[in-house]
Structure 1
Amino acid sequence: MQFTPDQITILVLLAGVFVLLVWGRWRYDIVAFGALIVAVLLNVVPAGKAFEGFGHPATVIIALVLVVSHGLAASGAVELLARHITNAGRSISTHIAVMASVGGLLSSIMNNVGALALLMPVDIEAARKAKRSPGLTLMPLSFATLLGGLVTLIGTPPNIIISTFRERTVDAPFQMFDFAPVGIVLAVVGIAFIALVGWRLIPTPSDDSSASLSTFKLDDYIAELTVNQDSSIVGMPLLDLEKACQDGDLTLLNVIRGKNRLPSASGWIQIQDGDVLLVETAAEALDKFVSEHKLSYVEADHQREKIEGTGLELVEAVVRPGARIEGRTSANLSLVDNYGIWLIGIQRNGRRIASRVRRTPLSAGDVLLLLGPQQRIHAFLDAMGLLPLAERGLEVNASGKAALATGIFATAIAASSVGWVDLSVALALVSTLYVLTGIVPIKQLYDTIEWPVVILIGSLIPIGLALETSGATNVLASGLVNAARDLPPWAILTIIMALTMALSDVLNNTATALVAAPIAVDVARSLEVNPDPFLMAVAVSASCAFLTPIGHKNNTLIMGPGGYRFGDYWRLGLPLEIIILAVGVPMILLVWPL
């Protein structure tokens, strides 16, 4: 293979992007946008076409799908459905089959991260009621939502990218349900394997990594201390007490007097005999503080109820990938001063971080224990990109909006499917009607769009085009065909599918599809066969990231709540990927012949 200087430049640039994405030191959108700027400076992407990716149909459709997904979720449609299908009395296999089927169905019509975010609290609540670890069911649920995305055009971003790529290369995009014949079979087979056999391959979570009733043991974080008559803090102003707690490496969460809590803004109020201090600290600092100031421990039973009785609420939440809080600490966010929220504890990879919680940078998948005013904490979760691990309450009129949201969406998809209106226009119409009817409040409209994904796609599309126009994909495809020249086309298709699947296990699935699609088409052209099965193979394999927690955001989201470690995923993921290959290749060739 002989590469030109431009081809070498673009390939080295892409290799650098892959290394940085796998390393994870910088967020994927920053890496992709930085690579685009470098490509322009090196003249491998023309300056006049540098930002065409942001107006590309795939970018627009993916952004609109995110708005529509949020509308379906906010209407209460999904949660109403989930409440009616959960039953803590079912066997694990039956529970997984039901939840996975619902997850697969939902992710076929909405963003699969959104589908998991709605069902994960339901699954955790079912595990608590059944007194078993959620780690036995969260991984099956995550994998099922990935499988469900294979069914329709809008089920997952790679399908949208492959469709628009086909439009450019074959003059016709894939339609809404062109993915269904292959996708439905793979989803059904995959979910059946997970429910009957696969969940048994998941390592049994340890008691301390994924408790059945609560992710956190409050006694390890929060203590109630009674002020005695001879205590040194009697008569001390509240402001001075806060400083004394800080000096002792404690955080004063609240002072309870009788049945009321003292207002934190009133620093002049003096501490009295009988007051109860609610503090957060590591155990080693607590005993020293109690002894030094002659305080007494309060019985620790029913702490959640006691705390909530003061107007505060304890919430367990997981950090979403790309959340505003990711990579930052409680200290530099000044959570207490700016939001009135306390970070009480952190669990990471199933293990509790017990010391210097306020100084620990937060990572995607971390489970946080937060304490804050009941009327404020859920707005804080939404603003920071955190997913609560408990079911939210539904308003009485939620079902009305649920029916409206579902009706609008179904009508638009039907109109697009029969060719009355283009899919992007249909989704734009749905988004507009959701705003006008209040299903998606206008203040939340732009927050529903996952801008890092938009930046990633808009940045990589021009680089992918440069990969094609430079002839690099043709050289790579020719090299692959020559290396496998003694193999039949179906075997080469299998190799491409396996390589794409392996790449998706360590890279964002969108980036994988953007890079693999042009190579797959050039391989098909070199073999002088129909490119459609090769494009469909890339669409399927780019979305089947089951081996690691970093291959897809859904896998990252379940890591903390499920108590999983990095090496746990392949135990279920590897046989599942083998099944996808074994069933997927013949199905693709049956529906899309060479």
Structure 2
Amino acid sequence: MEWQGWFSLSVTLIGTSTNLIVNGQYQTLTGEDGFSLFDITAVGLPVSIVGVIVMVVLFPRLLPDRSEKNPFSNLREFTLEVAVAHNGPLVGKSIQVAGLRNLKRIFLVEIERAGHILTAVDSDEVLQGGDRLVFAGNTEAITDLLRINGIVPSAENEHPVAISQAVSERRLVEAVVSPHCAVVGERIRDAKFRDRYDAVVMAVARNGERVSGNLGSVRLNVGDTLLLEARPVFVSRQRYSKDFLLINDLNSESPRHDRAYVAWAILLGVVLTAGFQLTSMLNAAMLGAGLMIVLGCCSLNQAEKSLDLPVLVTIGASFALGAALLQTGAANFLAQKVLELSGGQPWLLLVLTYALISILTEVISNNAAAILSLPIVLEMAEKAQLNPEPFVFAIMMGASASFATPIGYQCNLMVYGPGGYRFSDFLKVGILMNLIIGATTVVTLILGWPLTLAD
């Protein structure tokens, strides 16, 4: 499920948006400087280690295997032909090492090399520059395949394919051939898609099944579904054309592998700048994001699409709710009740704080749960003369440690369908994981931080 990602997100302040939001709200409510990049690492790292051990040891035994025995039974199946770039990183690697053997919902059918067809390809077969790889699978799987560094679109002619042919501003588009299309009856190689439509045919499906044979030799029929690599303007042009009945922009731009090291350098610079407190977290992040666009690591369009407006609105509304709790006295009232329930015991108060956050985050968003709880916890710590730092860390950890329901965290919903999980699966292992992570977090905070303020 999404727990593998959570373990890596909980060890730094920038690992998840929840940590940043809590830190920003903490600064606003208290006037303090807030926390540095690695302040949460001391609690996040041991919790992550315990979580990974539990996941590896127990989850394979507790979760049933509901993987499809026939992964292509209910999918529209494309035939895709790609090539191994001559100057790419896959040359000299075996099929297994290159990561092309155990791909999900897509499989390698054959390899065309120097005019010869290799079928039933062995996992130890070594790739050569210019190899044409024929795959079969569905649209989403093909999109993932094309993101592998060293895989490039197969040319429409027999000229060698170089890695420079992958154009970063191109995207994948799904189109259905209409009866009025000028290329009906022609072979893909002869149709000159690049000259006619400024597009390249990446894959073709016919009647929901893959088409056998060399992709360039396939004669197009009415109703064939094509996966094209084209410029964004292709979609707007074809809306007024009779060549295709349906256009589906998959919104998938080719990754810019040549800028990978630049992106890593920018990320490292942001982490170091914020970690050594040379500037604020916000300034470092904004500078890093700007450099990513200016230096070509991502396009302005990709950066714009990465902003999730509903999430931003939810966070903004949660800030207002948190402020209202504080200003109306509701936070003071709830804090007083929790203090009475704890009997004045700081360790029990910490347990109740984590439990409160853990329950809230299962029924509302993690960001909202954290922001709504923070004013209450700060009021509680002030009344009892307690050190607020471990309680704030409990909020950060508990708000993101949502494993018991698929609605508790957006990543849970992302894997709910594709993983074949049921609600009962989350309850079975999620409640156990919540208890283990919660106990580890609370024990680490009690041992590592003083709960009371020094006189």
Using structure 1 for the length normalisation, give the TM-score.
0.49
2:267 matches 1:409: yes
Counterpart of 1:513 in structure 2 is: 370
188, 195, 198: which one aligns with 2:56: 195
SS at match of 1:505: helix
| CA displacement, residues 310-346 of structure 1 (integer Å, 9 cap, x when unaligned) | 584579xxxxxxxxxxxxxxxxxxxx97999x9xxxx
| 1:415–1:568 Cα change, 3 Å | same
Counterpart of 1:578 in structure 2 is: 435
The structure carrying a bigger helix percent of its residues is 1
| 1:304–1:181 Cα change, 3 Å | farther
Counterpart of 2:444 in structure 1 is: 587
Within a 5 Å distance, the mapping from 1:30-109 to structure 2 comes to none
Specify the code of the residue in structure 2 equivalent to 1:198. F
Moved over 6 A (4+): 252-256, 304-308, 336-340
Separation of aligned partners in 2, 1:312 and 1:304: 14
Alignment check: 8 A CA contact 1:254 1:279 kept: no
| 1:556–1:219 Cα change, 3 Å | closer
| CA displacement, residues 141-172 of structure 1 (integer Å, 9 cap, x when unaligned) | x1111222111111112211221232231612
324, 329, 333: which one aligns with 1:471: 329
Within a 5 Å distance, the mapping from 1:55-204 to structure 2 comes to 139=1, 142-168=2-28, 169=30, 171-204=32-65
Alignment check: 8 A CA contact 1:339 1:380 kept: no
Separation of aligned partners in 1, 2:357 and 2:213: 50
| CA displacement, residues 291-328 of structure 1 (integer Å, 9 cap, x when unaligned) | xxxxxxxxx6x55879995584579xxxxxxxxxxxxx
SS at match of 1:420: coil
SS at match of 1:380: strand
2:313 matches 1:455: yes
How far did residue 203 of structure 1 move? 2.4
338, 358, 373: which one aligns with 1:480: 338
SS at match of 2:65: coil
| 1:167–1:203 Cα change, 3 Å | same
| 1:162–1:260 Cα change, 3 Å | closer
Specify the code of the residue in structure 2 equivalent to 1:160. L
The structure carrying a bigger strand percent of its residues is 2
Separation of aligned partners in 2, 1:506 and 1:339: 48
| CA displacement, residues 350-380 of structure 1 (integer Å, 9 cap, x when unaligned) | xxxxxxxxxxxxxxxxxxxxx98xxx86x52
277, 281, 296: which one aligns with 1:423: 281
Separation of aligned partners in 2, 1:254 and 1:478: 70
| 1:161–1:303 Cα change, 3 Å | same
Alignment check: 8 A CA contact 2:363 2:408 kept: yes
| 1:519–1:313 Cα change, 3 Å | farther
Separation of aligned partners in 2, 1:193 and 1:432: 40
| CA displacement, residues 101-129 of structure 1 (integer Å, 9 cap, x when unaligned) | xxxxxxxxxxxxxxxxxxxxxxxxxxxxx
531, 546, 552: which one aligns with 2:388: 531
| 1:502–1:306 Cα change, 3 Å | farther
How far did residue 394 of structure 1 move? 6.0
SS at match of 2:11: coil
SS at match of 1:562: coil
Alignment check: 8 A CA contact 2:36 2:277 kept: no
Specify the code of the residue in structure 2 equivalent to 1:472. A
| 1:214–1:490 Cα change, 3 Å | same
How far did residue 418 of structure 1 move? 1.2
Separation of aligned partners in 1, 2:412 and 2:386: 36
Counterpart of 1:117 in structure 2 is: none
How far did residue 590 of structure 1 move? 2.4
2:418 matches 1:548: no
Alignment check: 8 A CA contact 1:473 1:518 kept: yes
| 1:555–1:212 Cα change, 3 Å | farther
Alignment check: 8 A CA contact 2:26 2:374 kept: no
Within a 5 Å distance, the mapping from 1:25-424 to structure 2 comes to 139=1, 142-168=2-28, 169=30, 171-205=32-66, 210-211=67-68, 214=71, 216-218=73-75, 257=185, 259=187, 278-279=206-207, 302-303=210-211, 309=218, 310=220, 312-313=225-226, 379-382=249-252, 398=257, 400-424=258-282
| 1:258–1:339 Cα change, 3 Å | closer
2:338 matches 1:489: no
Separation of aligned partners in 1, 2:437 and 2:73: 37
How far did residue 200 of structure 1 move? 1.9
Alignment check: 8 A CA contact 2:336 2:380 kept: yes
How far did residue 492 of structure 1 move? 2.0
Separation of aligned partners in 1, 2:339 and 2:241: 59
| CA displacement, residues 213-254 of structure 1 (integer Å, 9 cap, x when unaligned) | 626434899xxxxxxxxxxxxxxxxxxxxxxxxxxxxxx977
| CA displacement, residues 438-490 of structure 1 (integer Å, 9 cap, x when unaligned) | 112123332221121111112221221111011110101101211332x6221
How far did residue 410 of structure 1 move? 0.5
Separation of aligned partners in 2, 1:304 and 1:515: 58
Separation of aligned partners in 1, 2:186 and 2:357: 63
| 1:199–1:313 Cα change, 3 Å | farther
Q: How many residues align?
A: 325
Separation of aligned partners in 1, 2:289 and 2:328: 38
Specify the code of the residue in structure 2 equivalent to 1:469. Q
Using structure 2 for the length normalisation, give the TM-score.
0.63
Separation of aligned partners in 1, 2:388 and 2:63: 37
Separation of aligned partners in 2, 1:558 and 1:192: 21
Separation of aligned partners in 2, 1:582 and 1:404: 40
Separation of aligned partners in 1, 2:241 and 2:421: 31
| 1:526–1:305 Cα change, 3 Å | farther
SS at match of 1:197: helix
| 1:424–1:198 Cα change, 3 Å | same
Specify the code of the residue in structure 2 equivalent to 1:468. L
SS at match of 2:286: helix
SS at match of 2:326: helix
Alignment check: 8 A CA contact 1:166 1:174 kept: no
SS at match of 2:36: coil
| 1:513–1:279 Cα change, 3 Å | same
Alignment check: 8 A CA contact 1:151 1:180 kept: yes
Of the two structures, which has the highest relative contact order with CA contacts closer than 8 Å and spacing of 6 or more?
A: 1
SS at match of 2:250: helix
Specify the code of the residue in structure 2 equivalent to 1:155. G
Q: Supply the RMSD in Å over aligned alpha carbons.
A: 3.7
SS at match of 1:561: coil
| CA displacement, residues 409-462 of structure 1 (integer Å, 9 cap, x when unaligned) | 111221221121111111111111111111121233322211211111122212
